[in-house]
Amino acid sequence: MQLKIYNSLTAEKEIFKPILEGNVGMYVCGPTVYSNVHLGNVRTFLSFDFIYRSLMHLGYKVRYVRNITDAGHLTDDGNVENDRFVKQTRLEKLEPMEIVQKYTVDFHKVLDMFNLLPPNIEPTATGHIVEQIELTQKLIEKGFAYESNGSVYFDVLEYNRRGLNYGELSKRNIEELFANTRDLDGQGEKKNPQDFALWKKASPAHIMRWNSPWGEGFPGWHLECTAMSTKYLGEKFDIHGGGMDLKFPHHECEIAQGKACNDIAPVNYWMHANMLTMNSQRMSKSTGNYILPMQLVTGENDFFEKPFHPTIVRFCFLQAHYRSVLDISNDAMIASEKGFIRLMEAVKVLNAVTPNDEKQSGFNFEEWKTKCYDALTDDFNSPILIAHLFEAVKFIFALNDDKETISAKDLEDLKTTLRAFIFDVLGLQAVEENNNEKLDQTLQVLIELRNQARKSKNFDLSDQIRDKLLAEGIELKDGRDGTSYVLN
């Protein structure tokens, strides 16, 4: 089985060869935590959660790093006065780090709600100022950057003069870029309009500021991702992901910084997730065309006719390939809900099926399993995988109606494989059972008892509670915010 990944850098599907066999280093650009994430943001993070789960399911040991952008994210016009954090600080009358905390907590809650696994490392930009200053110094020493009026800029022309290729990811031609750019920020400070900030001088009004060899300022957004990915994954790593809109300039700049600093292209496979649209327009806070995840889940919105469980939203997202645009609509959600209910019903029905080793089954389990893995390894094709799951669903209902048979071995294999795809890889959750209040209360009591056992170092008892629940199909998961459970 060979995994193929579409690489935005080469614009081709390539056979995936990790740097270190069996291991994957993956970096995904995280959120800018100055306001609530909208459903569009969730789609991108969910796409990479599915990719992360798939890689692990395929047997890779993954180090997944997703950062938190909590400093220095300018608006598109690049004007220091329009720093998103500074604006929000004024609006909400809060300290910058209160804004950061408030929206980081919100981000984690939202992703938990959609059953996203936490990354292995979640570094923050503010926690890596020293690394960013060091990288800036290195770029100055190597002649790729220059100081100007307390700010430091990356010299794009110098980069190209040395035979490096700014624009290789976004397939932009540097001459055209120069012709089309208006220099709104740092006018007179930059040698060329395409030069981008590695370090910005802080104006007196700018509250988030740090000391540096160039005076008080704050780091550039592009540099933070280079600093954190290099620190935790090395100068060259396997996969870098993010939304399509980050290709240029953000990821283009990351490539330039990496190459200039370390004389090596920083990433082997660039992966870009496509956008979520609503009313056929990209979901975005700035245009007002957006919905918050909670509004969809509670039904408090004017767009959808009813509330939808987060796992239905997850299912809907995964019914589109991560590289396709997905237009969210009431009809799409209703259709996903119907499909999801049928899928879950099949899982239940399968548990009650009696095998029959005498009769020949019309379902070729091995062939079906191969097709599922072919879809998964073909650039993580979730819609095709789901279509194959529904072939199994059709067969399961035929079994239930005594129109089909299955051998004991195939039955066990089908149960295991189907559950693995639905719960581990797609990350779906059984809705009905999760809504069962009594069960939830009982499990909370058991979790509390297990916590007490652990506190008093009675690990025999705490392990017994965990193992016995697992034997009943209830998996306890210890996370940042305590213990949760998953019903399998």
Instruction: Write out the binding residues for Zn ion, residues 191-250 only, by CB under 5 A.
Output: 225
**For the CA atoms of 101, 102, 108, 113, what is the dihedral angle to 10 degrees?**
170
Chain center to CA of 467 = 31
Q: Is 72 in the site for ligand AMP (CB under 6 A)?
A: no
21: annotated binding-site residue?
Answer: no
CA–CA dist 272, 307 (Å, integer): 30
- Give the C-alpha distances (Å, rounded to integers) separating 206 from 34, 75, 83, 211: 15, 14, 9, 13
Residue number with CB closer to Zn ion (223 or 344)? 223
Instruction: Write out the binding residues for ligand AMP, residues 207-236 only, by CB under 6 A.
Output: none
**Considering the complex, what minimum distance in angstroms separates the CB of residue 473 from ligand AMP?**
34
Binding segment (CB under 6 A) for ligand AMP, from list 16-24, 239-247, 260-268, 392-400 = 239-247
316: annotated binding-site residue?
Answer: no
Q: Per-residue x/- mask for ligand AMP, residues 145 to 184, rule CB under 6 A?
A: ----------------------------------------
CA–CA dist 419, 413 (Å, integer): 10
Instruction: Write out the binding residues for ligand AMP, residues 269-288 only, by CB under 6 A.
Output: 275-276, 282-284
29: annotated binding-site residue?
Answer: yes
CA–CA dist 28, 11 (Å, integer): 19
Q: Is 385 in the site for ligand AMP (CB under 6 A)?
A: no
SS3 189: coil
Q: Pick from 26, 43, 65, 247: which binds ligand AMP (CB under 6 A)?
A: 43
95: annotated binding-site residue?
Answer: no
**Considering the complex, what minimum distance in angstroms separates the CB of residue 127 from Zn ion?**
15
CA–CA dist 238, 273 (Å, integer): 17
What share of residues in the chain are helix, strand, coil (percent, to 5)? 50, 15, 35
Residue number with CB closer to ligand AMP (66 or 450)? 66
**Considering the complex, what minimum distance in angstroms separates the CB of residue 66 from Zn ion?**
10
Q: Which residues pair with 400 in a beta bridge?
A: none
Q: Which two tokens stand for residue 155?
A: 């010299």
Q: Parallel, antiparallel, or unpaired for β 196-201 and 151-154?
A: antiparallel
Q: Parallel, antiparallel, or unpaired for β 12-15 and 217-219?
A: unpaired
225 binding partner (options Zn ion, ligand AMP, none; Cβ < 5 to 8 Å by kind): Zn ion
Angle, CA 187 vertex, CA 181 and CA 189 arms, to 5°: 115
372: annotated binding-site residue?
Answer: no
Q: Pick from 26, 246, 350, 406: which binds ligand AMP (CB under 6 A)?
A: 246
- Taking phi over 0 as left and psi of -120 to 50 as alpha, with beta for the rest, 482 belongs to left
Residue number with CB closer to ligand AMP (31 or 119)? 31
For residue 170, give the DSSP letter. Answer: T
**Considering the complex, what minimum distance in angstroms separates the CB of residue 8 from Zn ion?**
14
Footprint of ligand AMP on this chain (CB under 6 A)?
Answer: 29, 31-32, 40-41, 43-44, 242-243, 245-246, 275-276, 282-284
Footprint of Zn ion on this chain (CB under 5 A)?
Answer: 29, 225
Could you tell me which residues are annotated as the binding site for Zn(2+)? 29, 225, 250, 254
